[in-house]
Amino acid sequence: MPELPEVETTRLGLLPRLQGRALRRIVVRNPRLRWPVPDDLEARLAGLTLNSLARRGKYLLFDFGPVTQIVHLGMSGSLRFAAPGEPAALHDHVDWLFDDGTTLRLRDPRRFGAVLWTDDVARHPLLAHLGPEPLTPAFDAATLHAQCQRRSAAIKQVIMDAQVVVGVGNIYASESLFHAGIRPTTAARRLSRPACARLAAAIKQVLTAAIAAGGSSLRDYVASDGELGYFQLQTRVYDRAGLPCKTCATPVRRIVQGQRASFYCPTCQR
């Protein structure tokens, strides 16, 4: 599933080519995504100029002035630039045609993504209750510690909760906990303020590195130019069960939490 680094990589790839361009047409081949593509999407957006492209958690926000388009990539979606005259493939569900001839194309084999619009981003139900962005000053040791004090769940599940902090997916949660020296099974309310400071810093470090690496290409994800991300080649514990820890050589362990695989070093993480 594309997580924050993959979505941010997509945003950075799209912005230079689309900012300031007027949208000419929208072609919807299959409206049956996670939520149906609104029938009036083209009527709302056609003719408007894209002012900016932002990201909130894993949602891309296309600012067309009076209307903002919300795009979520779901489990397997990607946004790519189609070559002139390139025919749509089976899972290419939506095209955006801009005034300079650029075509942006949504490919989503599993159809768990979303293409919606809103005239009030702050109050939209998908966005209104999201937690702070991890790479901003709004997310720090104090914020994380306050959230942890109210929760008895395992810390890995807490930092993957989008109401606590957005965008920390499974890979990045495992890696952040390794860098912070915290086991994924530790009850959140047991974490001290210094431990939360280490973890908040580790989350920022890991996500920043993942964005620089173009995200992690597992299964379907590619960037807007079709290139693969390679952060998965840098992981210290994720998907390395039984292999020696890169720090201490202890075999990495794999457990299941909330139906998701967690990886940790029993020596480095306590």
56 is catalytic: no
244 is catalytic: no
24 is catalytic: no
Interaxial angle between packed helices 170-180 and 193-212, expressed in degrees from 0 to 180 and rounded to the nearest 10? 130
Tokens of 188: 């959140």
Please, what are the domains in the chain?
4-123 (3.20.190.10), 141-264 (1.10.8.50)
Tokens of 173: 């949660």
Question: Which is catalytic among the residues 11, 56, 58, 183?
Answer: 58
260 is catalytic: yes
Query: Tokens 């949602």, residue?
Result: 59
Question: Which is catalytic among the residues 24, 25, 246, 260?
Answer: 260
Nearest to 175 by CA among 268, 59, 258, 72: 268
Nearest to 112 by CA among 32, 51, 33, 59: 33
Q: What is the DSSP secondary-structure string of 142-203? A: HHHHHHHHT--SBHHHHHT-TTTSS---HHHHHHHHHHHT--TTSBGGG--HHHHHHHHHHH
Tokens of 38: 């609104």
Q: What is the pLDDT along the chain (270 residues), one digit of tens a residue?
A: 678 988 998 999 999 999 999 999 999 999 999 999 999 999 999 999 999 999 999 999 999 999 999 999 998 899 999 999 999 999 999 999 999 999 999 999 999 999 999 999 999 999 999 999 999 999 999 999 999 999 999 999 999 999 999 999 999 999 999 999 999 999 999 999 999 999 999 999 999 998 988 755 444 434 444 454 445 557 899 999 999 999 999 999 999 999 999 999 999 999
